[in-house]
Amino acid sequence: MTSTASCQRRSAWAIVMLMLLAAPLHARDAANSLKASFRDDFLVGVAVNDDIVRGRDPASLKLLERHFNAITAENVMKAEVLHPQQDRWDFSAADAFVEFGRKRRLFVVGHTLVWHNQTPDWFFRDANGQPNQRDAQIERMRQYIEKVAGRYAGRVDAWDVVNEVIDDDGSYRDTSWVRAVGDGDLLVQQAFRFAQQYAPGTELYYNDFNAWRPEKRDGIVRMVRKLQAAGIRIDGIGMQGHWGLNYPATADIEAAIDAYAALGLKVMITELDVDVLPLTREGQVIGTVMAHKQFQLPEFKRYLDPYQQGLPVEVQQRLAERYAELFRIFHRKRAVIARVSLWGVHDGMSWKNDYPVPHRTNHPLLFDRQRQPKPALAAVLSVATESATTSSSIAAPPPTVAATP
């Protein structure tokens, strides 16, 4: 960057800051809250764990109540928790999650009804331990959705009905659910039929990672069109935002948002986090878990886990810029985006600390491990502010930042 360009960027940022300081006090207070800053645009949600719900993490609870107006169950509404054994159900954590959200008047998202991962093996076997036949598997799915979606009908606002069933090439993934039913289209259509039947007033979504990839995007579009042609209700698409500092390309994200919106569906940005750690191959966001003990050796740790003591200034800056870049897209597309949800309140609770390489120190969210705001938060808030207080010709950068733990 030339010194002239740098000066222009600093000048633009100074203009924004002056206008912020000139705003009324109540407006500045609102600008410090994510949900208030984007209240006319979309919901701002977050995944919550049982510690937050049960009051064991009051600092995170305080952040949630200030910044977010939607919540997603991180794990407690998955099959392995709700129905770990054929003769055992456990709704205690899920009930607490739903009550937590209703008490605070939050938009409550159930996650998820049909997913191959975190679903017990017995789901797919008969009483003799043999693989279920198609009709038996569909009936098991019906019974499960009746029990779970029916229990929370009128209390859960939306369900991720089917999760992660389309492969990167646009075909159906070879998952336990697809194998058991034998037909991906039939699986998805029956799942949405049952969800519509047992949760008639609830919004119904399909949720997936890499939904920005053109081939996968086209596969999701084909799947949705078949649902619609069959007269089966689907209300929205959740685009999981497990992204990085330099991927995916913003053009691909925007193209996917447009493609899903063209189907007449709501678009949600779900599970948003920005990975700052080195990748072992381009785009390794989902799919290859490097759990082998060799990756815990010092020579690997130095490369794969470089920020154990905190983020360097330049990486904090890049993270802030990336979040601002993404939220500018979301803000431009606010007519079709209904919700943007972070996948965790703070860095310490992020799944990215253990994926794709276990036991690393990642920094993908807006609040650090001490529950303190990171420069990325200011960058996101500036997106809402700049649209209201500056002309679209000013592209304000986030402020220069210092390293934080």
| Catalytic residue list contains 139 | no
What Rg value do the Cα atoms of the chain yield, rounded? 22
Report which of 383, 345, 341 is spatially closest to residue 367, judged by C-alpha positions: 345
Q: Which of 290, 344, 331, 325 is nearest to 398 (CA)?
A: 325
Q: Residue 46 phi/psi, 5° resolution? A: -155, 150
Retrieve residue 76's tokens: 């407690």
134-167: b (≥16 Cβ within 10 Å) or e: eeebbebbbebbeebbebbeeebbbbbbbbbbbb
The single-letter DSSP state of residue 248 is S
Dihedral over alpha carbons 159, 81, 288, 340 (to 10 degrees): 30
Cα(313)–Cα(296) distance, rounded to whole angstroms?
Answer: 26
Determine which one of 74, 164, 203, 271 is catalytic.
271
Question: Is the four-CA dihedral 401, 402, 403, 405 of positive or negative sign?
Answer: negative
Report helix, strand or coil for 57. coil
DSSP, res 346? S
3-state secondary structure of 110: strand
Supply φ then ψ for residue 188, to 5 degrees: -65, -45
> Are the beta carbons of 273 and 365 closer than 8 angstroms?
yes
Kindly give, in sequence order, each residue whose CB lies less than 8 Å from that of residue 4, ignoring residues fewer than 6 positions away. Answer: none
Rounded CA separation 269/130 (Å): 39
Residue 272, both tokens: 């948003």
Residues belonging to the active site: 271
